Amino acid sequence: MLHINDLVFRVQGEPLLDHATVAVNKGDRVGLVGRNGAGKTTLLKLISGELHPDGGSITYPRLTRVGKVAQEAPSGQTSLIDTVLGSDRELSALLAEAEHTVDPHRVAELHERLAAIGADSAPARGARILAGLGFDEAAQQRPCGEFSGGWRMRVALASLLFQAPDLLLLDEPTNHLDLEASLWLEGYLKSYPGTLLLVSHDRDLLNRAVNRIIHVENRKLTAYTGNYDRFERLRREHLEHQAAQHAKQQAERRHIQAFVDRFRYKASKARQAQSRLKALARMEPIASVMEDRTVTFHFPEPSQLSPPILTLEDAAVGYESGKPILAGLNLRLDMDDRVALLGANGNGKSTLSRLFAGRLRPMDGRMTRSGKLKIGYFAQDQAEELDLTATPLAHMARLLPLETETKLRAQLGRFGFGADRAEVAVGKLSGGEKARLLFALMSREAPHLLVLDEPTNHLDIDSRQALIQALGAFEGAVILVSHDPHLVELAADRLWLVADGTVSAYDGDMDDYRKLLMEQRRMERTRQRADKPQRDEMLSKKDKRRAAAEARAAVADLRKAAKQAEAQIDRLNKQRAELEARLADPQVYDGPTAKLQELQIKLGQVKLTLAEAENRWLELQTALEEA
* Amino acid 279: pLDDT: 64
Burial of 280 (0-12, 13-18, 19+ CB in 10 A): middle
Q: Which CATH architecture has domain 539-626?
A: Orthogonal Bundle (1.10)
Percent of the chain with pLDDT over 90: 20
| Measured distance CA(612)–CA(111) in Å, rounded | 36
Pair 329, 497: CB distance under 8 Å: no
Strands 338-342, 326-333: pairing is unpaired
* Amino acid 395: pLDDT: 93
* Amino acid 229: pLDDT: 85
Over residues 236-240, mean pLDDT: 72
Strands 375-379, 55-59: pairing is unpaired
Does the pLDDT value for residue 543 go beyond 60?
A: no
Residues 6+ apart with CB under 8 A from 549: 120, 121
| 67 closest CA partner among 47, 40, 83, 84 | 47
Percent of the chain with pLDDT over 70: 84
Question: With respect to CATH, is domain 310-507 assigned 3.90.700.10?
Answer: no
* Amino acid 284: pLDDT: 59
Q: In the predicted model, what is the mean pLDDT of the chain?
A: 82
Helix (H) or strand (E) holding 615: helix 593-626
In tens, the pLDDT along 256-294 reads 677 666 666 665 556 666 666 666 666 556 554 444 555
pLDDT band at 15 (very low <50, low <70, confident <90, very high): confident
Helix (H) or strand (E) holding 523: helix 510-538
Pick the range with the lowest mean pLDDT from 478-482, 571-575, 615-619. 615-619
* Amino acid 77: pLDDT: 87
Rg (CA), the chain: 29
* Amino acid 70: pLDDT: 76
Q: How many CB atoms lie within 10 A of CB 466?
A: 20
Pick the range with the lowest mean pLDDT from 40-44, 332-336, 484-488, 606-610. 606-610
Number of alpha carbons in the 13 Å side-chain half-sphere of residue 324 = 19
* Amino acid 581: pLDDT: 77
**Can you name the residues that pair with 313 across neighbouring β-strands?**
366
Instruction: Tell me the three state secondary structure of residue 239.
Output: helix
Pair 470, 478: CB distance under 8 Å: no
Q: How far is CA 401 from CA 49, 294, 412, 442, in A?
A: 49, 30, 15, 15
**Can you name the residues that pair with 59 across neighbouring β-strands?**
3
Q: How many CB atoms lie within 10 A of CB 348?
A: 25
In tens, the pLDDT along 340-375 reads 999 887 788 989 999 999 989 999 999 999 989 999
C-alpha dihedral, 201 to 204 to 208 to 214, nearest 10°:
30
The dihedrals phi and psi of 298, each to the nearest 5 degrees, come to -155, 110
| 455 closest CA partner among 474, 476, 472, 478 | 478
| Measured distance CA(515)–CA(523) in Å, rounded | 12
| Measured distance CA(161)–CA(253) in Å, rounded | 56
* Amino acid 313: pLDDT: 94
Q: Where are the domains of the chain?
A: 233-282, 310-507, 539-626
Residues 6+ apart with CB under 8 A from 228: 31, 33, 203, 206, 207, 210, 213, 461
In tens, the pLDDT along 459-480 reads 888 888 889 889 988 999 999 9
Greatest Cα-to-Cα distance within the chain, rounded to the nearest angstrom: 108
In tens, the pLDDT along 445-463 reads 999 999 999 898 888 888 8
The alpha carbon dihedral of 481, 485, 487, 489 has a sign of: positive
Residues 6+ apart with CB under 8 A from 47: 2, 4, 58, 66, 167, 169, 197
* Amino acid 509: pLDDT: 85
Strand order in the sheet with 326-333: 326-333, 310-317, 364-369
Burial of 264 (0-12, 13-18, 19+ CB in 10 A): middle
Number of alpha carbons in the 13 Å side-chain half-sphere of residue 149 = 4
* Amino acid 510: pLDDT: 84
Does the pLDDT value for residue 204 go beyond 90?
A: no
In tens, the pLDDT along 51-105 reads 888 888 888 888 888 888 877 778 888 888 888 888 888 887 887 777 777 777 7
| Measured distance CA(301)–CA(275) in Å, rounded | 62
| Residue spans of alpha helices (H) in 211-288 | 228-263, 270-282
Pick the range with the lowest mean pLDDT from 161-175, 187-201, 262-276, 363-377. 262-276
Pair 20, 7: CB distance under 8 Å: yes
- Measured in residues, the chain has a length of 627
| Measured distance CA(167)–CA(26) in Å, rounded | 9
Pair 366, 314: CB distance under 8 Å: yes
Q: Give the residue, 418 or 110, on which the prediction is more confident.
A: 418
C-alpha dihedral, 215 to 221 to 222 to 225, nearest 10°:
70
The dihedrals phi and psi of 611, each to the nearest 5 degrees, come to -60, -40
| 429 closest CA partner among 411, 417, 413 | 417
**Can you name the residues that pair with 450 across neighbouring β-strands?**
376, 478
Residue type, 214: I
